[in-house]
Chains A and B, each alone.
Chain A
Amino acid sequence: DTAVSQTPKYLVTQMGNDKSIKCEQNLGHDTMYWYKQDSKKFLKIMFSYNNKELIINETVPNRFSPKSPDKAHLNLHINSLELGDSAVYFCASSRSGGARQETQYFGPGTRLLVL
């Protein structure tokens, strides 16, 4: 059973399009995250939700909007895609208590290429 799953795995799209990436975890965790990994492998947090409530919102363009329909799902919607949005996006989850000491479990990543 996949613990944290993301769809799609690959996403190639044109500049200006709107796209969504879906994330689901079956670990019963309360906290979920979105990270962006750039071409140099640098990993930076974008958002974090705890029980469907936004708790971390880093300096991310407002073209990015996370949505958590329930605590097992955290989707990422991106409007008006730009070339610089090309990256690998990772979803992760952890038990209640947030990032402080809990292990985060990562999905396999979504490779987004904006042309």
Chain B
Amino acid sequence: SQQGEEDPQALSIQEGENATMNCSYKTSINNLQWYRQNSGRGLVHLILIRSNEREKHSGRLRVTLDTSKKSSSLLITASRAADTASYFCATDGGGSYIPTFGRGTSLIVHP
């Protein structure tokens, strides 16, 4: 299975602090994506990083990928209360482009 596993399962921080979430996976991948899900809603695509990339930025988001360790991290800088959501990593590979999702990290940012 390509399923990623996020760590920690839950994270509670104060507004303004940075939030770091990690994702580990088991087999070789083509791409790794991070998604955000607000409670009771669909997922929103945040960022995609390809297997030959090591780091990508998008606004306050920074994603790293270490294929040797089969892991990725999502850093949200200067967090805001509106960042409160669940964050999922999704990987695809092995001939399939269909992403499979981890269990997610529940992030709570206190104002």
A and B are interacting partners: no
Residues of A within 8 A of B (CB): none
